[in-house]
Chain A
Amino acid sequence: MNLHDIWRRARRNSTALLGLGLWLAVVAIVVFGPLVSPYDPTKMNFLSVLKPPSLAHPFGTDSYGRDVLTRVLYGAQVSLSVCIAGVAAGAVGGIGFGMVSAYLGRGYDMTLMRIADLLSAFPSFVLALLLMFALGPGALNIMAAIALCYLPSFARTSRNMTMAVKGEPFVEAAQLMGQRTSRILIMEILPIIAAALVVQASTAAAFAVILESGLSFLGLGIQPPTPTLGGIMSDGKDYFQRAPWVLTFTGLSICIALLGLNLIGDGIRDLMDPKLRKVADI
């Protein structure tokens, strides 16, 4: 079953649709919200410090009098783009390594899979922390850390699935017809395993958001004044008892975005062929 079939069936799968709707809404709000918002995410206003949620400030204001909702929107732009770019890089790299590894087999496969095993022996947060320590804070470095954290799982999934698919008659037929390996991998095998990779990408993106905001929350991620979701919450924790809304609403926004991603993943997973799902181990 390829991605197209999945899409046709997904239109009748309420979980996937709910997730997609939620996620599209989140993206739309994050993209267009800042354009609509009357507030500046960084400009301080000491006349309205730590105001509780109201019509003017639905998420309240922080200790510098900034509108928390506006900051969340800008922060989400930064956080989501960093995470999506990181996961995309990890996915492209991982899928490339995995498929080539499965196709070439033997020593090459062994080596690449051992490297993947090695990388997955690091708790992802610890690996990210180590990389941030080595590379220094910054959006590009976080992207690199996220990519490296999720590369092994993409590599393993695409490798296992390519292994399972490569003996299929249609792949052998393409080989007999003398098609180039790269063409077979991209045109014949990738569409078959794409659904599993989409599931993985959606869960990886969800974890990446937690990872990125966790790093920024600790102060080891993207540095202020650039607003990030973790950074806003890190601010909020300092006056958490006096103004719990800053941390609570920011976290809630993250939660909704992740819920959308996880529901998409769940929905597509449910639609997949159980045998392929087993191979993919997702």
Chain B
Amino acid sequence: MRRFLFYLGGRLLGAAITLIAGVSVIVLVLKLAPGDPALTALGEEATPQAVAAYRAQYHLDRPIWTQTLYALGDLARGNLGKSLTVARDLPVASLILDRLPNTAFVGLYALALAIAISLVVGTIATLRRGRLEDTVVTSAAVLGISMPDFWLSYLLILALALGLGLFPSYGFVPLGDSIPQAFLYGSLPAMAIAAPMAASFSRFLRATLLETVGQDYVVAGRALGFSEPFLFVHFVLRNALIPYVTKVGMQVSYLLGGVVVVERIFGVPGVGSLMVDGCFGRDYPLVQGCALTFVGLVLATNLFIDLVCARLDPRRAY
């Protein structure tokens, strides 16, 4: 247990360092951006005095590394600054917090779909290796990773919303308002994000399962007389799960990228669409806060996946 706590502490420290470095990168990148946040905030006709006062208030007159330190200090206090244009003068932190549950819901829904599909599909492809089912599934998977998610979104709208009328084509209901409605509205966005991931997970799971099926310990288990379903679940799938979960963790970053476009298409009020709004409105603090949120989400998932893997794999020392 103590070793586990040490391990956890080390991982948390690592994530914190990466987060701090990430903030620095984001702040630095935004300092390089053309335009002046002061002018964006105050308007082009602002008096030089007002601009100077604004710059002094937000430390914009300091060297870049001092600004970075201020930004880190603000972050530590949970202060991400105030929105300039998208939601004038509202704190960025509360804007993001309002929308984070929606992004999390759509993202997790998509992840769950992708995992469920890939487990079924990967298993079928492995058990029916070289037969028709395998060929169909692997071909579909290559096709799946070759489809841009935003294009798929419109295909889904065309087929399932406009064609069959199963789901609404636009809009969103937060989970807190109505659970069935949230799932109804969340389904198409989740499917659009999930499809390429499901394809990529399935391909990976199939490759890993096929590798595991031939391991000596599976033959040894067979020699002990365990049944084939038992061997598949406890020997093959169980051991393939370790690299699979690692892969899923790595893909979360890709998933969050997909969230940005898909949220926009389906009108999901999430962090992704907020960031796009921020980009259009040249809302520096908002873009900074959103980017930071995404980095934080990636780091948190990586940490979580790491802990899951440590649980799954007895060979991994903490």
Q: Does B84 contact A (CB under 8 A)?
A: no
Q: Does A121 contact B (CB under 8 A)?
A: yes
Which residues from chain A contact B154 at a C-beta distance below 8 Å?
A: 237, 240, 244, 247-248, 251
Task: Evaluate contact between B142 and A214: CB separation under 8 angstroms.
Answer: no
Residue in B21, B143, B275 whose CB lies within 8 Å of A129 = B275
Nearest A residue (CB) for B147 = A255
Bound together, the chains give a CA A206 to CA B254 distance in angstroms of 13
Bound together, the chains give a CA A262 to CA B142 distance in angstroms of 7
Which residues from chain B contact A237 at a C-beta distance below 8 Å?
A: 154, 265
Q: Does A125 contact B (CB under 8 A)?
A: yes
Task: Evaluate contact between A125 and B33: CB separation under 8 angstroms.
Answer: no
Task: Evaluate contact between A123 and B253: CB separation under 8 angstroms.
Answer: yes
Within the complex, the shortest CB–CB distance from A274 to chain B, in Å, comes to 8
Nearest B residue (CB) for A266 = B142
Task: Evaluate contact between A217 and B261: CB separation under 8 angstroms.
Answer: yes
Main secondary structure of the interface of B (DSSP, over half): helix
Which residues from chain A contact B241 at a C-beta distance below 8 Å?
A: none
Given contacts A122-B22, A129-B279, A134-B33, contact A263 B148 (CB under 8 A): no
Interface size class of A (residues with CB under 8 A): 35 or more
Task: Evaluate contact between A121 and B295: CB separation under 8 angstroms.
Answer: yes
Bound together, the chains give a CA A266 to CA B33 distance in angstroms of 39
Task: Evaluate contact between B295 and A122: CB separation under 8 angstroms.
Answer: yes
Within the complex, the shortest CB–CB distance from A32 to chain B, in Å, comes to 23
Q: Which of B251-283 contact A (CB under 8 A)?
A: 253-258, 260-261, 264-265, 275-276, 278-280, 282
Task: Evaluate contact between A247 and B146: CB separation under 8 angstroms.
Answer: no
Main secondary structure of the interface of A (DSSP, over half): helix
| Count of chain B residues near A, Cβ 8 A | 49
Residue in B32, B150, B254 whose CB lies within 8 Å of A134 = B32
Within the complex, the shortest CB–CB distance from B217 to chain A, in Å, comes to 18
Residue in A233, A258, A266 whose CB lies within 8 Å of B150 = A233
- Interface-facing stretch out of B23-31, B61-69, B72-80, B304-312: B23-31
Residue in A123, A220, A255 whose CB lies within 8 Å of B276 = A220
Nearest A residue (CB) for B278 = A133
Q: Does B180 contact A (CB under 8 A)?
A: no
Bound together, the chains give a CA A263 to CA B155 distance in angstroms of 23
Which residues from chain A contact B298 at a C-beta distance below 8 Å?
A: 121-123
Nearest A residue (CB) for B145 = A262
Closest 10 CB pairs of A and B: A125-B257, A251-B151, A258-B146, A134-B33, A123-B256, A123-B257, A259-B146, A126-B294, A123-B253, A210-B148
* New A-B pairs, 11, CB < 8 Å, besides A125-B257, A134-B33, A210-B149: A126-B295, A129-B275, A130-B29, A131-B29, A133-B278, A133-B279, A133-B282, A218-B264, A254-B151, A255-B151, A258-B145
Some 15 contacts from A to B, beta carbons below 8 A apart, are A123-B260, A126-B294, A130-B291, A133-B33, A133-B278, A217-B150, A220-B280, A233-B150, A237-B154, A237-B265, A248-B158, A250-B151, A251-B154, A258-B146, A263-B142
Binding site for B on A (CB under 8 A): 114, 117-118, 120-126, 129-136, 206, 209-211, 213-214, 217-220, 233, 237, 240-241, 244, 247-248, 250-251, 254-256, 258-259, 261-263, 266
